[in-house]
A and B are shown apart, each in its own frame.
Chain A
């Protein structure tokens, strides 16, 4: 358990051994469909397909998927409501309020479900090498890789220190809670520097000169998966154009 439910789901997913490129093609295709096709039926179809694939063949726990969409849903609800309220000469609804709100919610739900399908089936460690193929500089991918690996160490430190602070009544009052939060942030920052320094010394001792090279895991592409992706995306586009 890493402490991030989406990351845990990605490592445990039945699609973990599938090629990251295949999954990226499917999910980015769904994201684009959700964005550019009419909300009805395009984005609704995208949402249904993404949720169906995640909970079905990819075997992502429904609870993880449901919990992950809570915050985006809160933003979408508040944002969509604000967008369709008119403030011209007093509060009221915009003329096409229901249609605009429905369209906004549809696009966001469809796109959000597609991104979550990628997030819950593909660990970041598999996605970062794909950035190199998109010509992102090696140094940037290396820094992103170190960030990904260190953040779990720091999240664990954060959780441990906070637990210790709570046990010592560090969050018993508002004033103490503020002081503890400041100490917590400082402790995490100094630990991150300390970790980085110790790792750097360890790597320097092993002859670090050109970069942090690791052996990439080869996950072969599947023609069947790619064909199904193409057919599925074409089906969503066709259905949207016919119905809309």
Chain B
């Protein structure tokens, strides 16, 4: 759910751009430092951005017969950490605006704040909390992706409510309206993306275990000793 071009009043568009800027700049610095120290990681970071874009093109099956698309930022936050996702998410939003006409240029700041900042940070916090409470990788991934989606949807609803308060009941009434209208698509989408994340990471733990170990998501399996190998 991206806010379309021209939908936000000019002051709100500028305000949300200013709010998102420190996070995106922090992400840009993190990426620039990584590329300076390890130029070979430029390609891995580019691949992560492309994967986030392409993940949003996967159609999720829906009970209603319609289809919806995941945001991909929750999975990105677990795999690549939120600061990197602040930048990659903003790049993906720019590409979605210019390649798919989703979102816009004046609403890029507001969409980046919801999609690339709040979503990844909330999802990553939920992931760390689940792991700290003794949850495994897959429960952690499910919670992270659901929370990232719901946080993005909640933030977008707040942005719209602030821009268009209800004539009678003000901000609270407007928030109830926008949360209610978009809940129809966004709550099933959040649960669906959580399930997709579990299926994705279950395959990755089998097929891409070394990569997950390198990213710190799984503990390396201890090498068998010579005595064990003989047995």
Which residues of A approach B to under 8 Å, CB–CB?
Answer: 4, 6-7, 28, 31, 34-36, 43, 68-69, 71-72, 75-76, 78-79, 82-83, 85-89, 94-95, 104, 107-112, 114-116, 118-119, 124, 127, 136-137, 139-140, 142-151, 153-155, 158, 171, 174, 177-179, 181-190, 192-193, 195-197, 199-200, 203-204, 208-212
The answer to whether the Cβ of B208 comes within 8 Å of any Cβ in the partner chain is yes
The answer to whether A190 touches B32 (Cβ under 8 A) is no
The minimal Cβ–Cβ distance linking A75 to chain B, given in whole angstroms, is 5
The answer to whether A199 touches B32 (Cβ under 8 A) is no
Q: Which of A35, A72, A109, A119 contacts B10 (CB 8 A)?
A: A35
Known: A127-B98, A139-B42, A196-B43. A79 touches B4 (CB 8 A): yes
The answer to whether B208 touches A189 (Cβ under 8 A) is yes
The answer to whether B91 touches A144 (Cβ under 8 A) is yes
Considering the chains assembled together, what is the distance between the CA atoms of A79 and B3 in angstroms? Answer: 9
Taking CB atoms, residues of chain A closer than 8 Å to B202 are 182
Known: A95-B167, A186-B207. A88 touches B173 (CB 8 A): yes
Known: A6-B98, A71-B102. A85 touches B4 (CB 8 A): no
Considering the chains assembled together, what is the distance between the CA atoms of A28 and B34 in angstroms? Answer: 32
Taking CB atoms, residues of chain A closer than 8 Å to B164 are 82-83
Q: Which of B91, B199, B200, B204 contacts A143 (CB 8 A)?
A: B91
The answer to whether B5 touches A139 (Cβ under 8 A) is no
The answer to whether B196 touches A115 (Cβ under 8 A) is no
Q: How many residues of B contact A (CB 8 A)?
A: 75
The answer to whether the Cβ of B218 comes within 8 Å of any Cβ in the partner chain is no
Taking CB atoms, residues of chain A closer than 8 Å to B143 are none
Taking CB atoms, residues of chain B closer than 8 Å to A88 are 166-169, 173
The answer to whether A158 touches B54 (Cβ under 8 A) is yes
Query: Closest B-chain residue to A144, C-beta based?
Result: B91
Interface residues as binary, B83-123 with A (CB distance below 8 Å gives 1, 0 otherwise): 00001100110110111111011100000000000000000
The minimal Cβ–Cβ distance linking B197 to chain A, given in whole angstroms, is 8
Binds A, one of B15-23, B56-64, B220-228: B56-64
The answer to whether the Cβ of B188 comes within 8 Å of any Cβ in the partner chain is no
Query: Closest B-chain residue to A188, C-beta based?
Result: B54
Known: A88-B168, A110-B6. A6 touches B58 (CB 8 A): no
Which residues of B approach A to under 8 Å, CB–CB?
Answer: 1-7, 10, 13, 28, 31-32, 34-36, 39-40, 42-51, 53-55, 57-61, 63, 75, 87-88, 91-92, 94-95, 97-102, 104-106, 160, 164, 166-169, 173-174, 176-178, 181, 195-196, 198-200, 202-204, 207-208, 211
The answer to whether B6 touches A34 (Cβ under 8 A) is yes
The answer to whether B208 touches A184 (Cβ under 8 A) is no
The answer to whether B31 touches A139 (Cβ under 8 A) is yes
The answer to whether B47 touches A192 (Cβ under 8 A) is yes
Taking CB atoms, residues of chain A closer than 8 Å to B43 are 146, 196-197, 199-200, 203
Q: Which of B6, B35, B51, B63 contacts A43 (CB 8 A)?
A: B6
The minimal Cβ–Cβ distance linking B47 to chain A, given in whole angstroms, is 4
Known: A82-B177, A142-B35. A193 touches B99 (CB 8 A): no
Q: Which of B35, B88, B167, B178 contacts A86 (CB 8 A)?
A: B167
Q: Which of B58, B102, B204 contacts A72 (CB 8 A)?
A: B102
6 A-B contact pairs sorted by A residue (CB < 8 Å): A6-B101, A82-B160, A107-B7, A150-B50, A186-B199, A197-B43
